Each structure stands twice: as C-alpha cells, then as structure tokens.
Structure 1
Amino acid sequence: MRRILYLGPEGTFTEQAARVLVTRAYPGSAASDSSSDSEAQRTAADVVLEPAVTVQIAMREVASGHAEAVVAPVENSVEGSVPATLDALDAADPMVAVAETVLPVRFTVLATPGLPIDDIRTVATHPHAAAQVRQWLAGHLPAASIVSSTSTAAAALEVLEGRADAAVTAPLAAQRYPLDVVATDVADVRDAVTSFRLMRLPGRMPAPTGADRTAIVVTVDDRVGTLADLLTELAVRGVNLTRIESRPTRDRLGSYRFFLDLDGHLAERRVADALAALRRRCQAVRFLGSFPRADGHDPADPAPPEPVSDAAFAEAESWVQSLLEGSPS
C-alpha cells in the first residue's frame, strides 16, 4: 500500500491537489480515502490518501519509510510562498519534488447550522485564506473577528466543535462537514491560484519534458556580492530564475537560506553546470527536485542561447579533451 500524506484534515485544497497529483505520479489510479476499508475503493496502484496534522509531521513519516510521499502547498499568487512548507523542507531529511499542480483558489464560507449570518461573530480560517477574503469579510461579516487555524479544514472542525461561528474553507469541505453554506466562490482576487508539489525521498527523477522546473535551496556566505555572484552563475548559463525566497537559518540573526526555482531540468547541461557552480560557491546546496511544470508549457523563451545548449557543452568538452590529448586547437 502506498500512503500519500497531505496537509489535513480532510477537505483542504491540499487534498484536492493530492488527488490531481496522484493521478500524474501513478498513472491509471484515482486515489481512495484512508477512511474507507472497501477494496473496491482502493486504486489500481494501491494508493491511499491520508491527512496529516502538519507538513513537517508528514515529511517525518516519509523519511521514516511509513509513507511514500507528501503533498504540500508551496506558493500562492496573492500571499507568496508558504513558510511552513519551506521550513519543513529545510528541517526534514532530503526530499525532492516529482510533480506539481496549480489550483484556482475560491473559498466557501460555512457556518454553524441554523445560525443567522448576522449573528456570526468569529470566523476561523488559515492565515493565507484570511488574507485572500479580507474584502469579502469586511463587506459581509464586518462584526466578525478572525480566528487563525492550521488549515481551512481545521477551521471547519472548529465550527463543528463550537469554537467558532463560521469558517472560510476549500469547497471540498462543504462535502465533508455538516455545516450550513453561507457563501460560495468567494475570493477578493478572482485569478488567485496556489501551487502544490508531490514530494518524496530522493530516487529516480521524472524524465525531462522540455517544460520543467528545478528547485534548490542554498546557504551562502555573509559577504558583499554573494547573492549577485549566485545569480550571475545562473545568468551566464541561460538559466531563468522564476522564484527566490529567503528564510532564516535560525542559527543567528541575519543568516539566511535561499529557495530558488529555475526553468529547466537537471538532465540539461546548462542546469547541471549551474548547480555545480553554485555547489562550488555556496556553503551548502540542497537539490529539491526536477519535475514537469504544472502548466505544461515551455518558458516564454524556451530555447536556451546556443552557447549554453547541450550541443554547445558537448562540443566544448570535446575540444578540451582534444587539447589534453595533444591535438591542435
């Protein structure tokens, strides 16, 4: 049985993303719930989805061999990166992403059954969700205060347990919890999306598709020009940097790690050469995976400049080898 963990409880956006990602990582399957013992609901690949309290706990389960993979949110187009996931990646044993998906973010507001909307005084939700519905809450529930939860589904549970009057949740939660639906399709930014990744222990990587992403985290020296040097190593090899996020190392004030997303696959010579250069320059480099881009499209300028194409690398190496063997240049 393959256990795939996701940020729970049941009914989160992450569960929805997990169902999408499992079908990509395990073709021909459609994930079942751990809550069902029916063999008929098991997948062809014997995959079962289970919620985890936190991403860090899920990663520990994977590291110990008790689960095969974890699905976690990485970045939101409105609120930016998800710090809990980045910090969990930093603290966990090496983990690599093998697939990603992007979901549109539309929320459902659930409330205690029978409670009039005018009597709602507390609304529970995840901080990222709260930031994406501030205007809606101000217009429709101006007297309500926000209560932070570990996830949108956990917020629904708080309503069920009487610790909040309402919750801002993923649409899936309305199917899982016996609460009244106050509103659907709620979002201050209509085009908001969140990206999620399926991560597991290092092993065979997905093959290059021509539309891939590589993720790494680097620790650099605290000196003038260090970050500029790092970026230069990417630029001179035609590697496009699509995201950079700093997180404190927690060793001392002012010390940071940088999480980077790059266009391209480790199997491409320009990407591999860039990572090798960073390895030489940085205190530490952790590889977080090369995997197909969620949009399935090449970058805006998909063809690398000729000097950094795989063919150019091969020709240059052949030339150097000929010099070593005494052939004329």
Structure 2
Amino acid sequence: MPDSPNPLQAQTYSYLGPAGTFTEAALAQVPGARGQIWRPVNNVGEAFADVVSGRSLAAMIAIENSVDGGVTATQDALASVPNLRIIGEYLVPVNFVLVARPGTTLDDVRVINAHPVAYGQCRNWLERTLPSHGHIPASSNVAAASSLLDNTQADAAIAPPGIDKHHDVVVLASEIGDNPNAVTRFVLVARGNELTAPTGADKTSLIIELPSDRSGALLDMLEQFATRGVNLSLIQSRPIGDSLGRYRFVVDADGHILDERVADALLGLRRFSPKVIFLGSYPRADQRKIEFTSRYDDGIFIEARDWLRGLIAGEPAQ
C-alpha cells in the first residue's frame, strides 16, 4: 500500500480489505493507483458507495473466478447502482493456505472461516481432508484469518499465502486450492460516461433483462449477438427478484461499443429488452485481439447504412 501520500494531491481508490487481499493485489496492477490513497472497505456495497459519493475515484472489485464463476454480490450491485462504469479488468492468480491459532493442529479443526468464493475453490480439498467440517462465511480472505485472533467460533481459516507474516497464525496446509490454475478477474469501477478508446482487444459488459418468461426469449437475446458475429465470453443469469421466472443476464461480449458489430448488437438489444445496462467497454486484461470473420468488419455495416440512406433519399442505385 502506498506510504503517506499528500491528501491534497492524491486520489482515493477503494478495495475489499483489509490489506493483503487478492483485491489489493489487483489494485497494485493499476498504474494510476500507484502513490495514491488506498481505502480498504468491508463489502461491495461500501466500495460502490465510496465511488457514487465521490469519496473514491474508483473501486476494485472481484467479478468472476475461473473455478467458482461469477461473483453474484458484484453482479447484483452493478445492476442496482446507476451511473457506474467498468474502466478496466485485471487478473490475479489465486491459491490458498489453511491457517489457525498457534498450537492448533489439523486434527483439531472442526469449523473453518472463509470467504465464500475462497471456500468454493477449496471445497474438494476440504471434503477430502476435513469431511465433517463446518463453514462460517467471512467478508474477505484476510478477515477470515484475522478473526481467529478475536474469537473462537472457528478453528481455522482459508487465507492467502504469506498471511502468517502479518498475523499471529500458523499454516496448517499450503496450496489447498482445488485448481492450481485458478484465476480471479477483477474490475475497476468508476463514475461517469466517458469511454475508453478501442484497442482491438476489448470487452463490453452488459446487464440485460428478458422481456417475458416465454419460450425462446433467451434465444432471441442471444441472436442479437450471434447474427452480428459477436462472441460472448460470459453469460450468467441472476433473478430480478420481483417474481419467479424473471431474470436478468450478465453478459461480457468480445469487442468495443465503438466497433460497428457491437454497436449494432446493442441497438438490437435495445429494441428487444425492456432494460439494458451498459457497464462499459474496456481493454481485456489478457490483451488478446478479438477475432471475427471479415463479413463483420466495420466497413460492411457502414456500407449497409449508406445503401439504406441512399434508397430513402432516392439516390440512383449503385
């Protein structure tokens, strides 16, 4: 974390704390955050409140994990808090250790404190090693470890490697994650409507509501992308909450809103859906260029609009 920045010059960035979390590791990847004020918060709602109120310039939030899927608390918050934009994404490899108070052995462990996402990523190891354990959810991986020092409800905690250098805990087991290639995807969220410039390796995030609970409604939504050659790297359903059978979909589409094929897909979605939330277009963390066939080049869409304009204007057919 940056040391003693000048508060008259520095900007504040919020992240899920306390210090030492994977979220802090993601924030460390942001060039503009270096030398600024980093504010640890307890949950996604507090982080977004910081941004909406102007207390923080931006907030770093986990949104997806390669093992456990989408982070639903983040997805639901993005659907309910207006005027937020994702301006960047960052990937952090993750693994975990099991820690306990000094003097505790693995055989002593009956209850484990862990963030739900971390718990999901270690479930197979836990079921093999501690098949009768109980689970108490924690607000963060570091909070799970630090709570061991304050109460005795849990015997052990899942935490990031190196946590024993910051807290008086001992490591009972290392590399307990079920997938050694696990990665968590984080997004940097800010206020405002400015777009980042397209790079050719971009992602566009949306939240889309279906108009009704009927056969083919989801297919109609997906066709808005498929017929324009737009690949989806994420699609996850979340209940709207007003009645059974009503869902919104969190979608990541390959490309930028300034790409003609993506813009045309958004126009189709707007005609189809009662509510489309544009969360932002931003560079992909992996910098992988988006591939698509030449029939979806920008020029094809531009020529088609010019052709239609000419027909309406009565210009001679080309």
TM, length-normalised to structure 1: 0.87
Secondary structure (helix, strand or coil) at the match of 1:254 reads: coil
Residue 139 of structure 1 deviates from its aligned partner by 4.3
Q: Which amino acid aligns with 1:17?
A: A
Q: Deviations over 1:238-273 (max 9, x none)?
A: 111111111111111221111111000011011011
Counterparts of 1:184-195 in structure 2 under 5 Å? 184-195=174-185
Relative to structure 1, is the Cα distance of residues 318 and 105 closer, same or farther in structure 2, using a 3 angstrom cutoff? Answer: same
1:244 aligns with 2:232: no
Relative to structure 1, is the Cα distance of residues 315 and 6 closer, same or farther in structure 2, using a 3 angstrom cutoff? Answer: same
Residue 142 of structure 1 deviates from its aligned partner by 4.8
- Structure 1 segments, 4+ long, off by >6 Å, are none
Relative to structure 1, is the Cα distance of residues 319 and 135 closer, same or farther in structure 2, using a 3 angstrom cutoff? Answer: closer
Alignment correspondent of 1:308: 296
Whole-angstrom CA distance in 2 between matches of 1:115 and 1:225: 56
1:157 aligns with 2:149: no
Between the aligned residues of both structures, percent identity stands at: 41
Alignment correspondent of 2:284: 293
Whole-angstrom CA distance in 2 between matches of 1:141 and 1:251: 39
1:14 aligns with 2:23: yes
Q: Which amino acid aligns with 2:307?
A: W
Gaps of at least 5 residues in structure 2 are 1-9
1:265 aligns with 2:248: no
1:109 aligns with 2:118: no
Alignment correspondent of 1:4: 13
Which stretch shifts more, 120-129 or 167-176? 167-176
1:99 aligns with 2:88: yes
1:48 aligns with 2:48: no
Residue 277 of structure 1 deviates from its aligned partner by 1.1
Whole-angstrom CA distance in 2 between matches of 1:8 and 1:326: 63
Cα RMSD over matched residues?
1.8
Counterparts of 1:1-329 in structure 2 under 5 Å? 1-20=10-29, 22-23=30-31, 26=32, 30=34, 43=35, 47-142=36-131, 144-163=133-152, 164-171=154-161, 173-222=163-212, 223-299=214-290, 302=291, 304-329=292-317
Aligned residues: 306
Which stretch shifts more, 305-314 or 258-267? 305-314
Q: Do the aligned residues in 2 keep the contact of 1:206 with 1:290 (CA within 8 Å)?
A: yes
Secondary structure (helix, strand or coil) at the match of 1:258 reads: strand
Whole-angstrom CA distance in 1 between matches of 2:215 and 2:73: 29
Relative to structure 1, is the Cα distance of residues 72 and 206 closer, same or farther in structure 2, using a 3 angstrom cutoff? Answer: same
Q: Do the aligned residues in 1 keep the contact of 2:125 with 2:176 (CA within 8 Å)?
A: yes
Relative to structure 1, is the Cα distance of residues 325 and 225 closer, same or farther in structure 2, using a 3 angstrom cutoff? Answer: same
Secondary structure (helix, strand or coil) at the match of 2:28 reads: helix
Residue 204 of structure 1 deviates from its aligned partner by 2.0
Secondary structure (helix, strand or coil) at the match of 1:128 reads: helix
Q: Which amino acid aligns with 1:186?
A: I
Relative to structure 1, is the Cα distance of residues 138 and 258 closer, same or farther in structure 2, using a 3 angstrom cutoff? Answer: closer
Whole-angstrom CA distance in 1 between matches of 2:137 and 2:185: 21
Q: Do the aligned residues in 2 keep the contact of 1:10 with 1:173 (CA within 8 Å)?
A: no
Relative to structure 1, is the Cα distance of residues 135 and 247 closer, same or farther in structure 2, using a 3 angstrom cutoff? Answer: closer
Gaps of at least 5 residues in structure 1 are 31-42
Q: Deviations over 1:188-235 (max 9, x none)?
A: 122221111111113322211111110000112113322111111111
Residue 120 of structure 1 deviates from its aligned partner by 2.8
TM, length-normalised to structure 2: 0.90
